[in-house]
A and B are shown apart, each in its own frame.
Chain A
Amino acid sequence: MAHEEVKLFGMWSSPFVRIVEVALKIKGVQYEYIEEDLQNKSSLLLKYNPVYKKVPVLLHNGKPIAESLVIVEYIDETWKDNPILPQDSFERAQARFWAKLIDDKCMPSLWRVFRSKDNEQEKATEEALENLKILENELTDKRFFGGETIGLVDIAAKITVYWVQVAQEVAGVGIISSQNFPVLFKWIDDLLSCNVLKETMPPKDKLAAFFRTHSKASK
């Protein structure tokens, strides 16, 4: 394939950026990673994502794409090796549904737990646990959502759980443990055995330090 320019604008602590990075790595795509300082956004980022002004943004041959799930589908359709979404249309619909659930419901509800003040935290925790239960129930016997190989939903779910593990320790709030979510918890072990995921995740102590600084700033 002729030289293709692929750039990824990201931030090391963003789980959404990691989802895109894992997708690029699974496909074996060469890319340039550009770290953004979200307190001081580059003019390029503002140019390429004027609607949301957020990371991740993928730039392919000068054309920008924003929103992690949109980017991942683009990556899957452009580089055909190692598909991330299933081939069967019903299974694809399932994958899109679950990826969206993680993005729209799980992540935000988990974040609310760590950000909410004491009196709201109980309700926020209840909601987060409900959402995780939905995921746990769906997983039960499967090693991967998508079948035999790692797919989009696996990536999104595992990254979410990884982030929650760090955040919950910092916040002193127990959300996921091997007792209440045995299947999700076991998944983390599987995550660490998957090289692509292992090398893409930021070290837990670095992420924990980041959460600590940020929770102080917001108080």
Chain B
Amino acid sequence: MAKSDVKVLGAWPSPFVMRPRIALNLKSVEYEFLEETVGSKSQLLLQSNPVYKKIPVLIHHGKPVCESLVIVQYIDEAWASGTPLLPSDPYDRAMARFWAAYIDDKWFPSLSAIAKAQGEEGKEAAIAQVAEGLALLDDAFAKCSKGKPFFGGDKIGYLDIALGCFLGWLKVTEKMTNLKLLDEMIAPNLVGWSERFCSHSAVKGLMPETHKLMEFAKMLQAKFKAPPS
């Protein structure tokens, strides 16, 4: 399959963009990565995702697929002969989908809330929420992995991708708050898992370096604090 048959529209700092890229790597599918400029949206993006105008977008044979988790499931089904990303058992699939939705609907917003929190009390409450979520996810890991190294078992799967993409930003949050969130006390299983995930060949080249993300985060903060021109 020609490389240009598969395109991913995205940007390097976005954890959501990492998801389809990891999935394509796991399936050994070559693709063209089209980097969006931060602060502006290309014509192609606006055409391909008119509803949300957001990255990532996967374009396969000219047809766009939007929403990162929808894209990952599409990749799993469109390249069904490659390594499966979702478990084969319907109940295990439901659990993977449930926790991935939890990560997007509850956990990641709670992580973003730390930076936006007002005052010490606000910050502490936000941090407590993230820690609570990590404890829940740690428990989910024990159930889903069934003693194996990843949520998906022996291999990285849908839920590993759903959570793992946030590890870079989690490290940034830890540095900015001077607190260890992914900690033995809070989430013992996830500590080992995160190291395995980040060093996996399908992930390694994609996970942004923490110091680069920090610079990017500071740039964003400055941008929002600057008076409107």
* Contact surface of A with B, Cβ cutoff 8 Å: 51, 60, 63, 65-67, 69-71, 73-74, 77-78, 89-90, 92-93, 96-97, 100-101, 134
Contact = CB atoms under 8 A, between A and B. Distances in A.
Contacts of B102: 51
Contacts of B74: 89-90, 92-93
Contacts of A73: 93-94, 97
Nearest to B140: A51
A51 B94 contact: no
Nearest to B101: A67
Nearest to B74: A93
18 contacts: A63-B91, A65-B98, A67-B97, A70-B94, A70-B97, A71-B94, A74-B90, A74-B91, A77-B93, A89-B77, A90-B60, A90-B63, A92-B73, A92-B77, A96-B67, A96-B73, A101-B51, A134-B51
Contacts of A63: 91
A90 B101 contact: no
Interface in B45-71: 51, 60, 63, 65-67, 70-71
Nearest to B100: A70
Given A90-B63, A90-B65, A74 B70 contact: no
Interface of B: 51, 60, 63, 65-67, 70-71, 73-74, 77-78, 90-91, 93-94, 97-98, 101-102, 136
B67 A100 contact: yes
B94 A93 contact: no
A67 B77 contact: no
B75 to A, nearest CB: 9
Chain B at the A interface: mostly helix, strand, loop or mixed? Answer: helix
Nearest to A79: B90
A200 to B, nearest CB: 22
A97 B66 contact: yes
Contact of A93 (B73, B90, B93, B97): B73
B63 A74 contact: no
A21 B151 CA distance: 30
Contact of B136 (A51, A74, A89, A100): A51
Given A51-B136, A101-B51, A74 B94 contact: yes
Q: A66, A70, A93: which has the most chain B beta carbons within 10 Å?
A: A93
Nearest to B65: A93
A206 B101 CA distance: 32
A67 B98 contact: yes
B117 to A, nearest CB: 23
B226 to A, nearest CB: 26
A204 to B, nearest CB: 30
Contacts of A71: 94
- 10 tightest CB-CB pairs across the interface, nearest first? A89-B77, A93-B74, A74-B94, A77-B90, A70-B97, A96-B70, A93-B65, A89-B78, A65-B94, A70-B98
A122 B152 CA distance: 46
